[in-house]
């Protein structure tokens, strides 16, 4: 398998802590996390843009990573399922950390603006901007 971080040993908690530090460095005013079935599933944060707080939602999507990693297991049983779920969580959070680290580095080096890279994750309390666009079949973005 040629996937980044698919064998990561970094615990999700460490990746989350590092993501929080990066977001603070990039101007996050507050950060929260949400859980599904006792497992951390993502984080939300606010950044001031043009004098107004804008919310963002970053999901880790470990369940989707799990579905892909599961395909690589030759012998599947209960033990393999638990091992694969834990690996999926480590992989998902490490990937998110790597992505945020690169984006924040580009922001701090003035290569991009904050909204330029985080806009798809802008969150109105119900949906991200990307989810709104996808729901409307990207109407207004793509030629008719």
Q: Could you identify the residue written with the tokens 């984080």? A: 43
Chain centroid to CA 40: 11
Give the rounded distance of the alpha carbon of 123 from its chain centre. Answer: 13
pLDDT of residue 78: 74
Sign of the alpha-carbon dihedral angle for 111, 65, 57, 8: negative
pLDDT score recorded for residue 81: 87
Contacts of 14 (CB under 8 A, 6+ apart): none
pLDDT at residue 143, rounded to an integer: 78
User: Domain ranges in the chain?
Assistant: 12-133
Q: What is the pLDDT of residue 1?
A: 60
Q: Encoding tokens for residue 44? A: 């939300």
pLDDT at position 144 = 66
Nearest Cα neighbor of 7 from 90, 114, 98 is: 90
Q: Which residues pair with 58 in a beta bridge?
A: 43
**What's the CA gap between 63 and 54, in Å, rounded?**
27
Mean pLDDT split into 10-residue runs, the chain, 144 residues: 86 97 96 92 96 96 93 77 92 97 97 96 96 91 75
Predicted TM-score (pTM) of this structure: 0.91
Residue 79, pLDDT score? 78
At 144, list the tokens. Answer: 């008719």
């Amino acid at each position: 398998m040629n996937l980044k971080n698919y064998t990561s040993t970094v615990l999700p908690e460490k990746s989350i802590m590092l993501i929080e530090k990066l977001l603070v460095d990039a101007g996050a005013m507050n950060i929260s996390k949400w859980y599904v079935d006792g497992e951390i599933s993502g984080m939300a944060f606010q950044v001031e843009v043009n004098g107004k707080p804008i919310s963002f939602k970053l999901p880790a999507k470990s369940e989707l990573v799990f579905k892909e990693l599961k395909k690589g297991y030759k012998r599947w049983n209960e033990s393999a399922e638990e091992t694969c779920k834990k690996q999926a969580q480590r992989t998902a959070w490490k990937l998110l950390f790597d992505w945020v680290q690169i984006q924040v580095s580009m922001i701090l080096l003035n290569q991009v603006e904050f909204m330029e890279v985080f806009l798809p994750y802008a969150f109105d309390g119900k949906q991200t901007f990307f989810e709104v666009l996808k729901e409307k079949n990207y109407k207004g973005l793509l030629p008719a």
